[in-house]
Amino acid sequence: MLIKNCSRSIFLQVVIGLIIGVFVGVSFPDFSSHLKPLGDGFIKLIKMLIALIVFCVVVNGISGAGDLKKVGRIGLKSVIYFEILTTIALVLGLVVAYGSGLGTGANIDLNSLTSGDASAYAGSSQAIHGPVAFFMALIPSSVFSAFAGNDILQVLLFSVLFGSALNLVGEQASSVARLINEFSLILFRIMGMIVRLAPLGVFGAVAFTISRYGISSLSHLGALVLVFYVTCVLFVTLVLGTVLRLSGVRLLPFLRYFREELLIVLGTASSDAVLPQIMRKLENMGIRSSTVGLVIPTGYSFNLDGFSIYLTLAVVFIAHATGTPLAFSDLMTVLLVSLITSKGAHGIPGSALVILAATLSAVPAIPAAGLVLVLSVDWFMGIGRALTNMIGNCIATVVIARWENDIDMKNANAVLDGYHGNAREMPVAPTPHKSEMQG
């Protein structure tokens, strides 16, 4: 019976992959040091589809939403919500970092830091430093370069323009709308096939990381990792939990509903792998597909709560660890710069370190070489970033849907109360009537 359940549930398969990865990483470090391609390969398979999936879901969402005024209204509300929550996350990171004295007393000699690895990230940050450069970077040199470079913000811009034009043209382009919808079904099926490889990817990533860094080698940065995860838990339970509760949904059943997706993110440190699944589950709760298709892809680039917490914690940690005093103006600069630079994080290789380097470069008082301090634990913190980002985006969709009356609350709570982690047992939400979808 257990074997039969394992063959069906990706949840159990990923758990087993995680446990075996830990065991192999500790017991066979030499062998495990060669397993990195398993995790990297899985992530690359996921990333090759993300730009196309984002294009399809955004275009489908806008073209099928009916009134373009509603599309603009949802977009505006989403951006306002994202900015408010991102600001709260940034401030929470600062408060916890100072309250816990994170990094104080480390007395790290800057001359002992090897900045060779960090210089690559610092160099990459120059391309996205500054608000003008950020907004100019939103415009691709060509449509094809946006997709080829997997630049999600540029793809989003083109997708919004394409979907809006498709909506305005109407029946004359119905065949194009139908083609994109059918193409998205194929992409989702491919993603489903790739996700079946998640246990293998988790096994390789975990085994390699433990063989590379070990358990004891991270002790000097353990406080940073611990404080980061405690802060993420506080943000999810207190801030996001309250926001979700005000929308009429309880947090624990909501998290249990997405537990398989959360476990995949836990093992891969990437929320890209579960994009189609979380969209399907949100729609299954009774949220209109047009709202899901607009909020989730936008949130992947604009609603990075876990990433925001990481930024302010890391900046304060580096400052304290290197004995660098920070003025109030420095902290305000960090907040303002982080609000802009964090929006370009998704889709950039080594995005956390690149954006952190961009943020540090805006505050000359903080030594850029301090970036090296967080290199060794970035992967571990990446798990918390991805988990918090994913939870924040799912909750944002519920909030915006409730704001727009685009969610059947009775159906949503019935689905959450009746879900026990088995996809075959998951109640299916009634499909909205076509006229209702466009209303």
Higher pLDDT, 356 or 172: 172
Nearest residue to 221 via CA among 389, 383, 372: 372
Can you tell me the distance from the alpha carbon of 176 to that of 173, in angstroms, rounded to the nearest whole number? 5
Domains of the chain and CATH, by start:
8-430 (1.10.3860.10)
Highest mean predicted confidence (pLDDT) among 59-63, 79-83, 247-251: 247-251
Can you tell me the distance from the alpha carbon of 45 to that of 193, in angstroms, rounded to the nearest whole number? 10
Q: Give the chain's mean pLDDT.
A: 76
pLDDT reported for residue 423: 39
The confidence band for 345, taking pLDDT boundaries of 50, 70 and 90, is: low
**What are φ and ψ of residue 280, in 5° steps?**
-65, -40
Q: Tokens at residue 222, please? A: 């353990």
Average the pLDDT over each of 86-90, 116-120, 163-167, 367-371 and give the range with the smallest value: 116-120
The confidence band for 77, taking pLDDT boundaries of 50, 70 and 90, is: confident
